[in-house]
Amino acid sequence: MSNYSGAHICQCLSRLTTVRRNSTVTIAGDRRKTGEQFVEGVLGLARGLLELGLHTGDVVALCALNSDWYLEWLLAVAFVGGIAAPLNYRWSLEDARSAIDDIRPVMLVTDECSTYWYSKLQVDSMTHLRWLVSMDSPSNCSTKRFVLTTQTIKKPTLRSQPWNYFTPPDGAAIICFTSGTTGRPKGVTISHSSLVVQSLAKIAIVGYSEDDVYLHTAPLCHIGGISSAMAVLMAGGCHILVPKFDAKLAIAAIEQLHVTSFITVPAMMSDIISLIRIKETWEGKESVKKILNGGGGLSVELFKDATIFFPRAKLLSAYGMTETCSSLTFLTFYDPARENSGNFSHITGDDVGHRLVHQPGAVCVGKPAPHVELTISSEDSSCVGRILTRGPHVMLRYWGQISTEGSSSSDEGWLDTSDIGTMDDYGNVWLIGRSKGRIKTGGENVYPEEVEAIISQHPGVSGIVVVGLPDARLTEMVVACVQLRDNWRWANSSFNPSTENKSQILSSDILREFCRDKHLTRFKIPKSFIVWKRQFPMTTTGKLRRDELRREVMSCMQFLPSNI
């Protein structure tokens, strides 16, 4: 074991003991900790782990709800040179077992959230596990090996002792699992340097500071939650930790604790706004200054609502992935400090109208972060191609693999994001779709997201997913699954446009005509439409499971067109 002088996430501890020494840094239920108390907790836990015999490079798996203890564990494991591996408490038993088999942790730290699959994991047969730890209390655990808790591991520390951080030879800090949209989650090995540069980018662009009161809406097992937590730790802000996202808890925290910043995905924002609407009074208008959205763009309606209910908040979106340690690009939607900020045309630059005409299915995701190198790799002379990136933000590797997967570039170090896009003259990145979801129809490429972006503009459509189904003539046929807005209905075979009110009616012909009016290329227009009455299958992070939906559609093709 050797000390480490390079980038290290525990370097934030020094700032917390100075800038936030006697100020509150974490609030979790009834527990409040100052900067000094929080750092003492991290150092005490780190010393206890060293005395137990945790070595540099050892993997420590964490499966728990958000809490101040969770933050302490992430930092303490990194402090002693271990590699923290957050597991998703919402996983199935099969996914949990697969992840643990892949990373083979020497320690498993859990709380009561994982009891539903913990008892079935057969941890007693896992020879690689040396310690089982309860983050709070071992009362619900059936195994006799489960004897350690956070408090029993912690040891007193001497403040006068110098802090010596440790790190594995490759600088690995965490193993963060992907969302698994096309299969089992994969462990992404992320370095200390990646986390530090990502944090500095968020501090620079989002504007986190020591004055922030940050509400943890995202789970600490996801890269969005981890990277934002690290950014606020490095800025020296205050952390509000609720076990998991709940719109009522979030609104209460915003009003009572004067939250200044939080992150969302569209579903979270929708839930928050829906509850604010029914409140008699809304006292969160003044405090919130920054909202960062990920996991897909906000609809125009959600965006407008956000500016109404959070009028003092800077609204940003981020595009990225676990393999790039969260955000690659940032886009400021709304900034009340900017002149004419209520004018939506300012969002993406002076060329918005021109670009939307020529790229009707593309979505602007902003400009690359300062540390991000990004290029478009095209197989032909067009400006549309695969989005590649390289730099200190890129993962070290998938856990258990020697080199980074996915690079199709001849240049060393480039990571293929598997996304298709283009870049305009202003440096904005425009996302068109995922190469993995590409549909090959009649010899032409169709990206589902491009078609979805067009059809979603129809006032009668509340949700849309496009998939490709096997077709003897075309290879694949473009099929759209459509969710209707309230008070809209799908026209049956007896629909007569001359005798019925067309304003609340949708049909295949109406949507095809809409696509043509929006200048969508003819071969990209869906051949079939399905009215989808259930929720689309999603991952725990709100990402669409397109392959699962495709299988569902294939199983009911004999009923097309149908109401599913």
Per-position pLDDT tens, the chain of length 564: 344 458 999 999 999 999 999 999 999 999 999 999 999 999 999 999 999 999 999 999 999 999 999 999 999 999 999 999 999 888 878 788 889 999 999 999 999 887 667 777 777 778 899 999 999 876 555 455 557 999 999 998 866 666 789 999 999 999 999 865 555 789 999 999 999 999 999 999 999 999 999 999 999 999 999 999 999 999 999 999 999 999 999 999 999 999 999 999 888 998 999 999 999 899 999 999 999 998 777 778 888 999 999 999 999 999 999 999 999 999 998 999 885 554 443 343 333 333 333 355 678 899 999 999 999 998 766 788 899 999 999 999 999 876 544 444 445 689 999 888 999 999 999 988 777 788 888 777 788 988 998 999 999 999 999 999 887 777 789 999 999 998 999 986 545 555 455 568 999 999 999 999 988 888 899 999 999 999 999 876 677 888 888 888 887 764 444 334
Let me know: does 313 contact 288? Beta carbons within 8 Å: yes
The DSSP secondary structure of 516-542, one letter per residue, reads HHTT--GGGS-SEEEE--SPPPB-TTS
| pTM (predicted TM-score) | 0.81
Return d(Cα 139, Cα 146) in angstroms, integer: 10
Return d(Cα 199, Cα 227) in angstroms, integer: 6
Let me know: does 388 contact 419? Beta carbons within 8 Å: no
What the block records as the tokens of 382 is 């067009």
What the block records as the tokens of 148 is 């350690």
Going from the C-alpha of 6 to that of each of 166, 167, 169, 193, 235, the distances in angstroms are 10, 9, 11, 8, 19
Return d(Cα 394, Cα 189) in angstroms, integer: 9
Give the gyration radius of the chain's Cα atoms: 25
Return d(Cα 465, Cα 343) in angstroms, integer: 30
3 state DSSP class of 200: helix
Structure letter (DSSP) for residue 3: B
Return d(Cα 161, Cα 492) in angstroms, integer: 77
Beta strand residue intervals within 100-222, DSSP E: 107-110, 131-134, 146-149, 172-177, 187-191, 213-216
Which residues partner with 430 through β-bridges? Answer: 364, 422
**Helix locations, 391-490, DSSP H:** 448-455
φ/ψ bin of 91: left (φ > 0), alpha (ψ from -120 to 50), beta (otherwise): beta
Residues listed for the chain: 564
**Helix locations, 236-362, DSSP H:** 247-257, 266-277, 300-309, 352-358
Return d(Cα 78, Cα 167) in angstroms, integer: 7
Structure letter (DSSP) for residue 80: B
Domains and CATH numbers, the chain: 9-192 (3.40.50.12780), 361-436 (2.30.38.10), 439-559 (3.30.300.30)
Let me know: does 357 contact 518? Beta carbons within 8 Å: no
